[in-house]
Amino acid sequence: MIVLPLHKGSNAERSRHRNRQAILGQVRIAGTIGRAEIARALSLTTQTVSNIIADLSEDGLLLEKGRLSAGRGLPAIQYALNPEGGYALGIEIRPDAIFAALLNMHGKAVVTERIAITQAQPETVLTYVNALYARALDQIKNAQGRTLGAGIVMPGPFGVTGIAGMGSDLPGWQQVDAEAFFTEAIGLPVMLSNDANAAAMAERVNGLAQDITSYAYLYFGAGLGLGLIHGGQLVHGAYGNAGEIGHIPLPAQRGNLENALSRLSVQRHLKSVGKDAREIEALDQLFQQGDADLMAWLRTASEALGYAMAIVENIFDPQTVILGGAMPDAVLDHLVAHASLPERSVSNRPNAPHPRLMRGAAGRMTATLGAAALILNRALSSPNSYAH
Amino acid sequence: MIVLPLHKGSNAERSRHRNRQAILGQVRIAGTIGRAEIARALSLTTQTVSNIIADLSEDGLLLEKGRLSAGRGLPAIQYALNPEGGYALGIEIRPDAIFAALLNMHGKAVVTERIAITQAQPETVLTYVNALYARALDQIKNAQGRTLGAGIVMPGPFGVTGIAGMGSDLPGWQQVDAEAFFTEAIGLPVMLSNDANAAAMAERVNGLAQDITSYAYLYFGAGLGLGLIHGGQLVHGAYGNAGEIGHIPLPAQRGNLENALSRLSVQRHLKSVGKDAREIEALDQLFQQGDADLMAWLRTASEALGYAMAIVENIFDPQTVILGGAMPDAVLDHLVAHASLPERSVSNRPNAPHPRLMRGAAGRMTATLGAAALILNRALSSPNSYAH
DNA sequence: CGATTAACTCAATTTATTTGAATTATCAAT
DNA sequence: ATTGATAATTCAAATAAATTGAGTTAATCG
């Protein structure tokens, strides 16, 4: 039996790969940037950066954007990501539908598709996934051969590490190693995740968190999920199930957090007074009307949110917390505005550079876009330590 | 202004450094191991491993332990860490005392010292720290020139990242960048941390967590702290204050977690009935006598502990949680045995390879040893991703 | 307009890993 | 007991990718 190492060794090839990622990532955060500046940021020589940039340009990942004169000296040739240099496929599998999105290197969705399904057996799902992927390629000819991988979101729990080959909650998937199954069948590198984690990553690649490396994302899915990003990478936990914040008991014996703060919670509350809010649109309409029952729910939800914030902030000390998922924007905004943020929290600091709570991307496609974002993030950064 | 990169570039020298760390770390987890096996584990060639092992042996960090024949083929020469190959200094600064410990490469304390102080001004503290270090070197001649660094624990909060130069709670330290101050003055690389984080790392280097890479440490210090280890490295949070679990409000409006679960809490409870438990020994004695007031406190504390477990497990999904710090072993054991572990938790899995809650190292020196462990851990691993 | 500064390129060098052939010691089968 | 297979190790040569240093280009400053 081989003793698993904490991390693997390095060689010239792996160094090059890392440096490519680092340069791409640096171009991304800078927008446009010259070679010498990249070299300074990454502690590499300009010569090395030049060589790798020649490679990346050759591969179509970078574009020249003219020279920028800044003070004395030869003006630096500026480089920027080529949005069409690569694509990432995002797939979200639900019991009743499959969503797909194709993102370019800027994290912009260039294709979105959905398909209703009546059964979610692996083979059936696979047929649809391949069909959706083919449809996407049909619309973006350029993406043929330039798709970096597929991120897939499906109902957990599965074992990202440790319990290998553990399947999903979906019927028929219990015995399936979904990651291996899709990798084989789609012919692309696959990353598997749950909705909250994917949503969190979406904000990093194209959203509020592009320059934030440590944050948490509170996600309204079926229940209440939490995606943790630390050093620009997802924190999965030992068994891949970190972020199950909905299961935490509420103060004052009112059950779990997701009893007060989730789609199911508001649906149940409104149903008990004879109102239907299964669709986001219906919920939005009730909110616009100032519906008293919804407002009552929002009061307890805001309280629960404040409590969730106390937990997340004090345990994780993030730069910010982002709230998003399957809720109308207006409702999320209301929650953000009315959450009673705990005073006794490490995050309650003067002159904080970010608000403690922000509204993220919401709606049906959040997790699908996030699935693709997992792939983009991998292309633009290594799961390694912060510099400094 | 230079845009901060997520991670720096790599070159031959940094590769070598990483590979040295990886090999040392692999030898540590294996105990004794041959070169070919290291090569397989780290995805390096045996030749590379041979070269680096020659280096490490030359530096006195590794010892040959004869050949081990295992099946066919030439029996591999076994290598093991040389416990005297390097040392780490741990310093804990408290308002009324300074503790020091010198650990060898096995994580064993070869010297421990303490000194009572009456004031904790930076210059005064420094004098004592240097004196303690000198005393340690005096006892372990071999450690001269072989001390890898100093880990320092002092009352926070400080900014590990972000808020640079932010000082401690100790009087006179507010304006001092303690890390720079000590680095300069001791002449060793310095790592600064709080007590809970240090205690967590102590378990990893020489304790229950030597083969556990993802866990949380609940620490009884002044209040209640939490050290988070993920992928073998500390999770500090964006501003270095992750793990302030004591501030989280308790269910049923009973104040914070540390109101029910901390040294201060038990002291206050016992004082209200006229009993003194400021010293650990006094507390231990009361426990041995089965004191009814202490037992009453333990009941609410166990409940609070179960609640803390629900939070930590569901948010972080660790392999295990370790309980330790300034409490008698017997009290910790009682808490471990009587904590009502939540049923609805991601950690409540069948066939878990580790208990959900374990007792760690306790007592006065825990944090001091942990301070040194920070240095050892850095020598034996990179703050990088898991392999696989 | 010349001096200075900074980005960039080219060619040579350096570092560290990999590759491939040769050597050695053990186990297993005859 | 002998022989062949297997695995660890070493040596020397090759390779990959970084750095170094000298030279070129194009800006700004005085």
Query: Cα-Cα-Cα-Cα dihedral of B188, B192, B196, B200, to 10°?
Result: -50
| pLDDT at position B166 | 53
Q: Provide, as residue numbers in chain A, all residues whose Cβ is less than 8 Å from the Cβ of B8.
A: 22, 42-44, 387
The CA–C1' separation of B9 and C17, in angstroms, is 18
| pLDDT at position B4 | 86
The CA–C1' separation of A66 and C1, in angstroms, is 28
Distance between CA atoms of A358 and A200, rounded to whole angstroms? 12
Judge whether A239 is closer than 8 Å to chain B, CB to CB: yes
| pLDDT at position B388 | 45
In the A/B pair of chains, how many CB contacts fall below 8 A? 262
Q: Who among B6, B232, B242 is closest to A316 (CB)?
A: B242
B387 half-sphere exposure, CB direction, 13 A CA radius:
19
| pLDDT at position B161 | 37
Question: Structural domains in chain B?
Answer: 12-81 (1.10.10.10), 85-193 (3.30.420.40), 210-362 (3.30.420.40)
pLDDT mean by block of 10 residues, chain B; 388 residues: 86 97 97 97 98 98 92 94 98 95 97 95 95 97 96 76 53 86 95 95 94 96 94 92 90 81 96 94 97 97 95 96 96 97 83 94 92 97 66
Distance in Å, alpha carbon of A113 to nearest chain B alpha carbon: 32
Q: Who among A18, A238, A249 is closest to B10 (CB)?
A: A18
The CA–C1' separation of B84 and C22, in angstroms, is 37
Judge whether B32 is closer than 8 Å to chain A, CB to CB: no
Q: Provide, as residue numbers in chain A, all residues whose Cβ is less than 8 Å from the Cβ of B382.
A: 7, 385
Q: Which of residues 44-83 of A touch strand C (CB under 7 A)?
A: 46-47, 50, 71-77
Peptide bond into A122 cis (omega under 30): no
| pLDDT at position A168 | 67
Residues linked to residue A249 through DSSP beta bridges, in sequence order? A256
Distance in Å, alpha carbon of A160 to nearest chain B alpha carbon: 11
| pLDDT at position B9 | 95
Q: Smallest Cα–Cα separation from A161: which of A9, A318, A11, A6?
A: A6
B387–A8 C-beta distance less than 8 A: yes
Q: Are A208 and A358 in contact (CB under 8 A)?
A: yes
In strand C, which positions have an atom below 7 A from any protein CB?
4-11, 14-20, 24-28
In chain A, which residue's Cα lies nearest the Cα of B28? A5
The CA–C1' separation of A211 and D28, in angstroms, is 33
pLDDT mean by block of 10 residues, chain A; 388 residues: 85 97 97 98 98 98 93 95 98 95 97 95 95 97 95 76 52 85 95 95 94 96 94 92 90 81 95 94 97 97 95 96 97 97 82 94 92 97 66
Strand D–CB B66 distance below 7 A: no
Amino acid type, A125? V
Q: Is A73 left (phi over 0), alpha (psi -120 to 50) or beta?
A: left
Judge whether B51 is closer than 8 Å to chain A, CB to CB: no
Distance between CA atoms of B193 and B374, rounded to whole angstroms? 9
What is the Cα B4 distance to its own chain's centre?
Answer: 29
B242–A317 C-beta distance less than 8 A: yes
Distance between CA atoms of A317 and B11, rounded to whole angstroms? 33
Q: Is B363 exposed, middle or buried (0-12, 13-18, 19+ CB in 10 A)?
A: middle
Q: Provide, as residue numbers in chain B, all residues whose Cβ is less than 8 Å from the Cβ of A344.
A: 247, 256
- Closest residue to C18 (CA to C1') is B45
Distance between CA atoms of B238 and A312, rounded to whole angstroms? 12
Strand D–CB B76 distance below 7 A: yes
Distance in Å, alpha carbon of B38 to nearest chain A alpha carbon: 9
Residues 295-354 of A with CB under 8 A from B: 307, 310-312, 314-319, 342, 344-346, 349
Q: Which of A1, A4, A6, A217 to mutate to test the interface with B (most CBs of B within 10 A)?
A: A6
Q: Which two tokens stand for residue A195?
A: 């909705």
Judge whether B228 is closer than 8 Å to chain A, CB to CB: yes
| pLDDT at position B385 | 58
| pLDDT at position B71 | 85
Query: For the range B180-188, what are the long-range contacts, defined as Cβ-Cβ under 8 Å and sequence gap of 24 or more?
Result: B181/B122, B181/B126, B182/B126, B182/B129, B182/B150, B182/B152, B185/B126, B185/B129, B185/B130, B186/B89, B186/B129, B186/B130, B186/B133, B186/B150, B188/B89, B188/B147, B188/B148, B188/B149, B188/B150
What is the Cα A192 distance to its own chain's centre?
Answer: 12
Strand C–CB B72 distance below 7 A: yes
Q: Which two tokens stand for residue A40?
A: 């300074």
Q: Are B221 and B195 in contact (CB under 8 A)?
A: yes
| pLDDT at position A165 | 46
Q: Provide, as residue numbers in chain A, all residues whose Cβ is less than 8 Å from the Cβ of B23.
A: 9
First to last CA, chain A: 36
Q: What are phi and psi of B40, to 5 degrees?
A: -65, -45
A349–B239 C-beta distance less than 8 A: yes
Q: Which of B3, B6, B312 to mutate to test the interface with A (most CBs of A within 10 A)?
A: B6
Q: Provide, as residue numbers in chain B, all residues whose Cβ is less than 8 Å from the Cβ of A316.
A: 235, 237, 242, 315
Judge whether A26 is closer than 8 Å to chain B, CB to CB: yes
Q: Who among A22, A228, A247 is closest to B344 (CB)?
A: A247
Strand C–CB B12 distance below 7 A: yes
